[in-house]
Amino acid sequence: MQRHLILEDGTTFVGEGFGAPATTFGEIVFQTAMTGYQESITNPIYDGQMIVFAMPVVGADGIHAEAYESVKPTIRGMVVHDLAEISTNRQRRMSLDRFLKQNNIPGLCQVDTRQLIRHLRESGPQKATIVDYVDDHARDQLAATVLTKQQVQNTATPKAYANPGRGYHIVVIDFGLKHGILRMLGDYDSNVSVLPYTTSVEEVLTLDPDGIVLSSGPGDPNSLPESVFTLIRVLQTKAPMLGIGLGHELFAMANGATLNPLVAEYHGMNHPIQEIISQEIFYAMQGRGYVVDDQTVDRKKMFVTHRDLVDQSIQGLRHRDYPAFSVQFFPDGAPGPIEPNVIFADFFETVADYVEQYN
């Protein structure tokens, strides 16, 4: 049935509803990647957001058991141009439409998504709603909606759990972890403990980690409690540390930097990222609404290790005194290039060195 998208600035788009027939509210962002819609919509970083896909045909590959980035998707909606129908089989267990219905997520298709994206790239982030009718009620509802700042709480694990292996013991501080990170840690057969971000320093140290990962996650990094920064400041002196996405932003903040919100969030995999030390360029999936403010990085404390060559944004940081480093992009891919997987190789080499030196 015909449904509508209303933006906070009053712009409306008409389309055909799919997925769940519910009314939905969320912050609307666009992404330009041409593959990996399943990985994207299940990535917890989109908690509370609606995604507009630039890729005009979405769904042609169905939903696969091995392409989940979280068990339960928490995006608020999906706007696409053309939704593909598929048959399900052993590889494709489910169609995208059915998947969204099961998870109570509304979708809107047959939208001029190129026009919408061109609009969003200028207008900046805003609230949006998918509704059956455009009327004053719908507009009022949208205006009255206060979007949650509790995304990390919504997606991060409340209880510690293990993903056992026989290798190094890696503690993951969960801010809204995506599976790709666990998959990569699994590739090194590491013994993983995933801990809530509210875990105390003592509890973490009791586990005697060989390495620490600050996971990616959704939302505004400023909304997290001070205890998180204390935790990072202590842990970075105790064992090698890798921050990813939100984990990178928190690592920067723990070491004195501040963050700036972006005019338009960037979600895509087409920007070149340069590793400054080697001048090498690679591409990686990015999903960011904030960027570390260059001016506030204390050069006596940290190196800038990576930059996005399109907007010059900081994409990687490293502590001068400790084996602690972080990247803004997704080194695990899923979706996205697997070239930056080597970040994990670097991390494990560092862990090996650390274990060698101190144990």
Partner 1 sequence: MANKVVLDSASLQRALTRITYEILERNKGGQGLVLVGIKTRGEYLAHRIANRLEQLEKETIPVMAIDVTNYRDDVLAHGDHLGLDEKDSINIVDKNIVLVDDVLFTGRTIRAALDALIHIGRPKSISLAVLVDRGHRELPIRADFVGKNIPTAQNEKIQVSVEEIDGKDAVEIIH
Partner 2 sequence: MSNSTTKSKLNKILFLGAGPNDFGIQGENDAAIYQVLPELHGHGYHVFVVDDNPYSVALESVAATTFWEPLTVTNIKKIIKDHQIDAVAPLFGGHRALRLWNQILNEWHTDDGQIPRTLGLNPAVLRESADITQLNQLLIDAGLPVIQSKIAKSQTEVNELMRSLSLPLVVRANNPVQSNTRQIVERLDDLEQVVDEVKSQSLLDEVLISKAINGMKEVSLEVLRDYRGNCLQVGASEDMDPIGIHTADSLSVSPVLTIQDRFMEQMRSYAFQVADLLQIQGALHLQFAVSEVTGKIYIIKIAPYIDQMATRMALVTGYPMLLVAMYLSLGQAFEDIVLPHNFHPKTAMMEPMMDHIAVKLPVFPFGDLHASGVEVDRNLSSIQKSVGSTIGFGRTFIEALEKAIRAAHFNNRGFSPTYMEHISDDELIQQLIHPQDNRVLLFIEAIRRGYEVDELTELSHIDAFYFYQLKHLIALEQMVEAKIDDPNMLKQAKQAGLSDGLIARFWHSDFQSIRRLARQNDIQPTYKALEPSAGEFPENAHQYYATFETEDESTPLGKDSILVVGSGAFRLGESASGGYATTIILSELRRLQYHTVAMNNNSSDATLLPHISDKQYLEPLEISDVMAVVDKEQPQAIMVPGNRKKLIKVLEELGQRVLILPREKHLANGPENHKSEFSLNFFYDGVEVYPLIVGQHRAGEMRLLNQALDIKEDLNDLNLPSPGLYQIIWRADVNEWINQVEIPDLSHDTWLRPVSYGQVAYLSKAMGIHFLRLIVRAMLDELTPRDWEMLQMISKNPPHVQQWMTKALTNYQLHLQPSGPIDTTRFEMGVKVVNDE
Known binding positions for L-glutamine: 217, 219, 246, 289-290
DSSP 8-state secondary structure symbol assigned to residue 228: H
According to CB under 8 A, which residues from 5 to 24 bind partner 2? 13
Quick check: 66 binds partner 2 (CB under 8 A)? Answer: yes
| Per-residue mark of binding to partner 2, 106-145 (x: CB under 8 A) | ------xxxx-xx--x------------------------
Residue 341 backbone class (left: φ over 0; alpha: ψ -120 to 50; beta: rest): alpha
Identify the residue among 134, 337, 346, 355 touching partner 2 (CB under 8 A). 337
Least distance between partner 2 and beta carbon 116 (Å): 9
* Tokens coding 288: 């960011």
Which residue ranges make up the site for partner 1 (CB under 8 A)? 275-280, 303, 305, 318-323, 325, 342, 345-346, 349-350, 352-353, 356
Identify whether the C-beta of residue 170 lies closer than 8 Å to the C-beta of residue 207.
no
Closest CB to partner 2 among residues 67, 352: 67
289 binds partner 2 (CB under 8 A): no
Residue 303 interacting partner from partner 2, partner 1, none (CB closer than 5 to 8 Å by kind): partner 1
Residue 147 is a binding residue for partner 2 (CB under 8 A):
no
In 3D space, the residue among 24, 5, 214, 8 whose CA is nearest the CA of residue 112 turns out to be 5
Helix, strand, or coil here: 285? strand
Which one of partner 2, partner 1, none interacts with residue 66, CB within 5 to 8 A by kind? partner 2
Whether the Cβ atoms of residue 100 and residue 74 lie closer than 8 Å to each other: no
Catalytic residues: 332
Q: CB of residue 69 vs partner 1: minimum separation in angstroms?
A: 26
Residues 73-112 that bind partner 2 (CB under 8 A): 81-82, 84-87, 89-91, 112
The count of chain residues that interact with partner 2, using the rule CB under 8 A, is: 54
- Tokens 């510690």 label which residue? 160
Distance CA 321, CA 170 (A): 21
- Amino acid identity of residue 286, one-letter, is Q
CB 126 within 8 A of CB 5: no
Residues 6+ apart with CB under 8 A from 319: 236, 241, 255, 301, 302, 325
- Nearest-Å Rg of the Cα atoms of the chain is 20
CA–CA separation, 233 and 254 (whole Å): 6
- Which member of 233, 238, 271, 301 binds partner 2 (CB under 8 A)? 271
CA 232 to chain centre: 19
170 binds, among partner 2, partner 1, none (CB under 5 to 8 A by kind): none
The site partner of 167 among partner 2, partner 1, none (C-beta below 5 to 8 Å per kind) is: none
Q: Is residue 199 within 8 Å of 207, Cβ to Cβ?
A: no
Provide the binding-site residues for partner 2, judged by CB under 8 A.
Answer: 13, 30, 32-36, 38-39, 54-57, 60-61, 64, 66-67, 81-82, 84-87, 89-91, 112-115, 117-118, 121, 268-272, 274, 279-283, 309-310, 333-339
